[in-house]
Amino acid sequence: MQVKIIDHPLIQHKLTLIRDIKTGPKEFRELLEEVAMLMAYELTRNLPLEETEIETPVAKCCCKVLSGKKLGVVPILRAGLGMVNGVLRLIPAAKVGHVGVYRDPETLKPVEYYCKLPTDVAEREFIVIDPMLATGGSSAATIDMLKRKGAKHIKLMCLVAAPEGVHYINEQHPDVEVYTAAVDDHLNDHGYIVPGLGDAGDRIFGTK
CB 74 within 8 A of CB 98: yes
Distance CA 86, CA 106 (A): 32
What is the pattern of x (binds ligand URA, CB under 6 A) and - over residues 71-110? Answer: --------x-------------------------------
Distance CA 131, CA 32 (A): 8
What is the pattern of x (binds ligand PRP, CB under 6 A) and - over residues 119-148? Answer: -----------xxxxxxxxxx---------
The only residue of 110, 121, 151, 178 in contact with ligand PRP, by rule CB under 6 A:
110
State the amino acid at position 118 in one-letter form: P
Note the Cα 163 to chain centre separation in Å. 17
State residue 133 phi and psi, 5-degree precision: -115, 100
Which residue among the candidates 20, 107, 148, 185 is catalytic per the annotation? 107
In terms of C-beta density within 10 A (0-12 exposed, 13-18 middle, 19 or more buried), how is residue 95 classed?
middle
- 196 touches, from ligand URA, ligand PRP, none (C-beta below 5 to 8 Å by class): ligand URA
Peptide bond before residue 19 is cis, with ω within 30 degrees of 0: no
Which residue among the candidates 23, 44, 103, 144 is catalytic per the annotation? 103
The only residue of 134, 151, 157, 176 in contact with ligand URA, by rule CB under 6 A:
134
Longest C-alpha distance within the chain, in Å? 66
In terms of C-beta density within 10 A (0-12 exposed, 13-18 middle, 19 or more buried), how is residue 98 classed?
middle
> Is residue 193 close enough to count as binding ligand URA by CB under 6 A?
yes
**Cβ atoms < 10 Å from Cβ of 4:** 13
- 193 touches, from ligand PRP, ligand URA, none (C-beta below 5 to 8 Å by class): ligand URA
What is the pattern of x (binds ligand URA, CB under 6 A) and - over residues 137-166? Answer: ------------------------------
**Cβ atoms < 10 Å from Cβ of 141:** 19
The only residue of 36, 84, 157, 200 in contact with ligand URA, by rule CB under 6 A:
200
Which stretches of the chain bind ligand URA, using CB under 6 A? 79, 132, 134, 191-193, 196, 199-201
Give the residue numbers of the binding site.
78, 103, 130-138, 193, 198-200
Q: Return binding residues for 5-phospho-alpha-D-ribose 1-diphosphate.
A: 78, 103, 130-138, 199
